[in-house]
Structures are given as C-alpha cells and as structure tokens.
Structure 1
Amino acid sequence: MEKPILSSSPCISVVIPVYNNAAELACCLSALQRSDLSPQLETIIIDDGSSTVAEAIEQVASHYRATYFRQAVNGGPGVARNRGAELATGEIIVFLDSDCVAPSDWLAKLTRPILEGSCSATTACYCGPLKSNWITDFQDEDYLYRMPSTECETYFVNSCNLAVKRDAFFACGGFPNQRVSEDMVLGMRLAENGTPARFLPEAGVQHAYYENLKSYLKQRFSFGVNTIRSYFERGRLRSQQTKSSIRSFNPIRIGLGLFFGSLTLICVFMAGIVAIFKPDLAPLFLVGVLLSFLLEMSVHGRFLLFLKNRHGLRRSTSYIFLLFIIDVIYSGSLFVGLILGLRDRLIK
C-alpha cells in the first residue's frame, strides 16, 4: 500500500467502516462526540457499498460533521478500513466499528501509550454488550476470558478497537483483503515489523454482539476457516508473536476440543447405528458418548469455572452444550480451512 503524504492535521483520525446500518452508526458517532478528545478528532466514515441505506448513512455522517466516503462495491471491512486510512490525515489512526459505543474516556486511554512514545499500536476489546441476553452475554464473557487482565505486547489486534501510528500501519501493508480474521493478519504484520500492539484491558467499548444463535455460529465457522487460511498465508508465528497472552489461539486447548468434540459425534453416530441393528450393545456406545462428552467439557473447565464465579452455577451450566456445538463448528471449519489453505498455496 502506498503511504499518503502526512500534512498539518488533527492528531487523531478515527476510521469507522459501516455497511447497511445507519442507526448503529448514529449511536456510535453520538458517543464519540462526547469523547474527552473530541476537539482533536478527525472522523472518517467509509460506507462499504451499502445497498439500502446509503443516503441515510451519508446524512448521519453529515450531522456529526464526519468525512464521508462511499465505496462503489462491498469489499469487506479490511478494504474499507484501508481506504479510511488513506484518507486520514492524523498522526494516529484509530479504528472503531459502527456497532460499538465508546465511553467518553476510551480514546484517551487507547491513545495515551502511543502519544507517550512507549509503543506504536494499542488494542483493546469490549466492556459489555449493548443488549444483554443469553447469547450476547456468552460472547462477551468468552472475549473477556480469552483476553489478558494486564497490559502486554501481543500479535492479536481487535480491528473494532485499535489505534496505530500511521507510519507503522502503512509500513506493514495495512489490512489484508479477506473478510474475516483480517485483524489477526494485521496483528501478525505489525509484530513481524517490530511494532507489536500493546493490549490495554481498561480501554474497552460496548459492542452489539450477534443476538441469535444462528448468526453467531455462522460467524464462528467463518472465523475458523479464515484463521486456518491466515496461518497458511503467513506461516508459523515468529518469536515476537509467541509472547502473546491471548488465550484465543491456544493450540492444545483447541486441538483437544476438536478431538473430543469429533469423538463425541462419532460415538453418537455409532450408537444410533448399533441401536438399530444390535440394541443390546447400544448402552456401551452411550457410555462412550458420555465419557467423550465429559472429556471434551474438561477442556473448557477453566472457562466454565470463570462463568460460574461471575454468573453462578445455573447460568454457567446452560452454556455447556453451546461449547460442544462450537467445538463441532470448529472441527468443520478446520477441515474446510485446510482444503482452502492448500488450494491457496497451489494457486500461488
């Protein structure tokens, strides 16, 4: 990516990609307007080819005095963020998603280490769901559990809550063009360039999580596929990246979850076959189902304990079957990701 010329400009540029959702954008910009650093901000809205509410999005951007640019086609959030970075004039580029609502002190917390010169990029996660229900609470707790509780360097970046010096961003090539896991690739690129992000646990934003199970599981599958493809693209993590305290990509935990989740499915399938042809042997396979399920749950023991301590036993146990389903989803995404990753290698 060609780096634009830096001119005399606001110190901080906030880039917000949006697609077909003017209402969420209005909430996001309303909160951002209350930021402690609001006078120093340049806000850039990138409409990623919205098909239904483009005019409404432009009106929202105009109302909040934000720079507006509309992509001709929907290229995905990574492409939209790159375009926003090219338009930005600030020394620090901040990426925020349109479905996030930031506290008034968020921007000051997120950019302070960069302004002090102690790092080139910072990232954070979430501080709660905008709407609380069974599935949104699970997503928020899952993110909270997997994030470190103290500041640390990491190859993980969260593209909806990220600040980076413009020089570091353009030096690593920005976001890839892929639609999912693009933030993971950017984090790898920053680390490989010697400018790893610093995770800030206190700089979270509220997030509009998926409000139904189908949408959430679909996103988990896409995430798994693109994570595997990203590893094929980038290769093995380098030494700087292995220092990450993020639990998301613990290969042992994920591997065990995939193995026992798959084993449980096999046992269920075999139990059904045996129950049809030899009913007297079916209990043996049902025992196998129970044991493999318990082993699979032991992989998530710490997370379940984390949930119990925060929400009680009843709520934590209600998520056990969901964890199993997620592992099954990851098993399928691993297989698809391997095939697509190998195909990508052969094409190149």
Structure 2
Amino acid sequence: MNAPIRVSVVVPTFNRCDSLLVTLNGLIRQTNAPDFEAIVVSDGSTDGTADMVRAYDAPFPLQFFEQANAGPARARNQGVSEARGEIIVFLDDDVEPYTEYVARHAAHHQANPNLAVVGPMLPDPDRRRAEPVWIAWEHAMLEKQYAAWRTGEWTGVGAHHFYSGNASVRREHLVAVGGFNETFGRQEDVELAVRLETERGIGFRFDPDARGTHRPSRTFESWLKVPFAYGSLDVERAKSDGGRTWERVRHGYHARNRATRKLADLCLTKPHLSRLLRGNLLRLAQALYAAKRNAPALAALSAIYNTHYLEGAASALGSPDALRQVLFAPESETQAERVTS
C-alpha cells in the first residue's frame, strides 16, 4: 500500500513554462522529504505549459489543473481544494527549491501544527548584474529582511511577512478560514495570513534553510503596480481592523528620509508631475546601477516605491488631503478615528 501523502506543494503558474520546468526539476532533487505531491494550476497559460506538465516524468505524484485567467489567489485555492496532503506548501513558478526545501517546511508543522512557515527567496548570483535595477531592488530589500531575522535584529515574524512564493501552513487552517480572497489582486497572501492569525491563532516562523532561488521577470510597470496596490490595500484593511494597519501607512511616510517625504508631498500635491519624476528617477537609478553604484541606485528605487505606496493610500482614502489628515492626526486620536473620520 502506498504511504499517505503528507505534503502537497501547490504551484500556480501563468505563461512561465521554462521557469516552471526549473521549479519541477528542483522538486525532483528533494532529500529527506516526507511523501509529497505537486499540484500545478495553470492560470490561463498559453505558452505550452499544459503540454510540458502533462509530459513531465515526475517521481512523485503530479496533478495538473487549468483555469481561465483569474489570478493566483484562485489558482492557489484550486490547488488547496485538490490537495491530498495535510500540509500545504506554496511555491511560485519562478522559485527553484533547494534540496531540503520540503523537509524543512514539513518538520515545522510536525513539531507545531499551529504555525505558518515562510522561507527565503534568494537571488541567483549568476543573474545579479543581468537583472534590471528594480529586480535588484527587490532582492536587496528581501535580503536585508532575512539578515535582520538571522542576526536577531528582528525577532518578530508576523502576518505581513507571509509571502506565498515560499510559505506553508496546514490545510485544515486554510479550509477553515476560506482560503485566499480571490478579489485581491495583490497582498492576497498577507490578507489570508491576517485571518489565519486572528481566526485560528496561527503563529509565524521564518526558516532560513527553507530556501528557494528566485528568478523573477517583470517589467517596471508591473513592479510599479505593487506599491500602489499595497498602499491602497493597507488603507482598506485599516478601515476594518480598528486601525491597526494604519500604523503601517503612517510608517510609510514618517520613517522615510526627508528627500523621500518631500518627493511624496510634491507628487501628492501635483499628481501630473508624478510620472515625470518617476521616469527621471528610474533613468538615474539605471545609470547608477550600470556604473555599479548600487547604494544610490537602490535609494532612487526606494524613493519611487515609497512615494507610489503613499499615492495608493491617498487613492484609497479619496484624496491627498484625506491622507494628510490621517498622517498628521493628533496623537490623542484613536487609530480608528484616524481612518474612519
């Protein structure tokens, strides 16, 4: 009799056939792992993904499903619904898992069934200088976060660190809270994690050895959508959680350097200048990065990211004036009053 499947690795994919092949090959190389299956859900791919997966000769059970393009939240939900494992590991189609990847995730859930685990998504050293500066910025920000956890500078791992490109949780908890919110285009993983925390009492843990090599490919325009969406969604979450999330929005302004705050003020006051300023900063960042002046190049990208995050928050609140009112509300006001007034 075959041993029961303990772990289901859910991989949503969209038009990344070659990258997905690398991900699947990484799963073949797993060592010390319990019995696991992989579930690939194609979100409307048109690049030959279906033929590749159906022909793939995997030494583990491999399920494949297709859906009309509806986003990664729905794809992950379908994967969870089809999963036979008690532990769900979410793995993105541009992440190549290290050999101990499945084993590391599974071990945590064996020891504590009320955990969600996140692992690092590391850059490919062979691609560092070949990737565009905004991808280099992503890697740098994540590496800074991982280093802070490894050294103990940061001790807390929370719901807002639940990045579904490399994360795991028991299936029973996902089913109990209803899975990912499919109306979210971004931050659907963090929104899910908040519900796991509040409704199921799930704790969060970072494992530096549950590693994957991350090889993202996205345009600047796609990258730019992320901070705007995060700003908008943080405000929407703050409206419904009594204002707890609002401190993240405030931090998005007050923790920045003076130059970034001035840039944000200008873009919020004169939105017609925002695109021009972003374009100039991007060209500056690209030139600096090409000259191997990484620090100022990444600082320019941070200014773009943080400013666009605040623009997203202002959009969700209805106007830049509404954002200023809550950013500079007297400390005597409650968080809920700041958000809902």
Please state which band the TM-score falls in when normalised by the shorter chain: 0.7 to 0.9
Give the deviation of 1:137 after TM superposition: 2.2
Instruction: Give per-residue Cα distances to partners, 1:24-50, cap 9 Å, x unaligned.
Output: 110100011101145611111111122
Question: Would the alpha carbon gap of residues 145 and 25 (structure 1) be closer, same or farther in structure 2, given more than 3 Å must change?
Answer: same
Structure 1's 166 and 191: CA in aligned 2 closer, same or farther, altered over 3 A? Answer: same
Q: Does 1:221 align with 2:219?
A: no
CA contact (8 A) 1:35 1:106 kept: yes
Q: What corresponds to 1:190 in structure 2? A: 196
Question: Residue 261 of structure 1 aligns to which amino acid in structure 2?
Answer: L
How far apart, CA to CA, are the structure 2 residues paired with 1:227 and 1:204?
Answer: 28
| 1:224, distance to aligned residue in structure 2 (A) | 3.0
Note the residue ranges of structure 1 that are not aligned, 5 or more in a row: 1-7, 243-248, 272-312, 343-348
| Percent of residue pairs identical | 23
- 5+ residue gaps, structure 2, are 274-291, 323-341
Contact 1:26 1:60 in 2 (8 A): no
Amino acid at match of 1:204: R
User: What's the secondary structure of 1:203's corresponding residue?
Assistant: coil
Cα distance 1:252–1:266, how it changes in 2: closer, same or farther (>3 A)?
closer
Closer, same or farther: CA 124–338 of 1 in aligned 2, 3 Å: farther
Residue-by-residue CA offset, 1:45-71 (whole Å, 9 max, x unaligned) = 111122443533443556675111111
Output aligned runs, 1:54-203, within 5 Å. 54-59=49-54, 61=56, 66-71=62-67, 73-117=68-112, 119-129=114-124, 131-132=127-128, 133=131, 134-147=133-146, 148-150=148-150, 152-156=156-160, 157-177=162-182, 178-192=184-198, 193-203=200-210
Corresponding residue for residue 263 of structure 1: 265
Distance 2:303 2:263 in 1: 6
Q: 1:235 to 1:16 in 2, by over 3 A?
A: farther
Taking a change above 3 Å as real, the CA distance of residues 267 and 76 of structure 1, as seen in their structure-2 partners, is closer
1:27 to 22, 28, 52: 22
- Match of residue 253 from structure 1: 251
| Distance change >3 Å, CA 39–CA 253, structure 1 → 2 | closer
Q: 1:63 to 1:105 in 2, by over 3 A?
A: closer
- Rg (Cα) greater in structure: 1
Length-normalised TM-score, structure 1: 0.71
Deviation at 1:265, TM superposition (A): 4.4
- 2:229 aligned partner, one-letter code: S
Superposition RMSD in Å? 3.4
Q: Relative to 1, partners in 2 of residues 1:118 and 1:50: Cα closer, same or farther, differing over 3 Å?
A: closer
Deviation string 1:180-222 (CA, Å, 9 cap, x unpaired) is 1001111101110211222223323111234543332233323
- Which one is further off, 134-143 or 25-34? 134-143
Aligned-partner residue type, residue 126 of structure 1: M
Q: TM-score, normalised by structure 2?
A: 0.72
Aligned partner of residue 163 in structure 1, secondary structure:
strand
Give the count of matched residue pairs. Answer: 285
CA contact 1:97–1:160 (8 Å) conserved in 2: yes
Identify the range of structure 1 (13-22 vs 148-157) with the bigger mean alpha-carbon deviation.
148-157
CA distance in 2, matches of 1:149, 1:97: 22
Instruction: Trace 1:10-25 onto structure 2 (pairs within 5 A).
Output: 10-25=5-20
SS in 1 for 2:293: helix
Question: Mean Cα displacement is larger for which, 32-41 or 148-157?
Answer: 148-157
CA spacing shift, 1:265–1:164, aligned 2, 3 Å: closer
Distance 1:328 1:108, change over 3 A: same
Measured after TM superposition, the shift of residue 89 of structure 1 is: 0.8
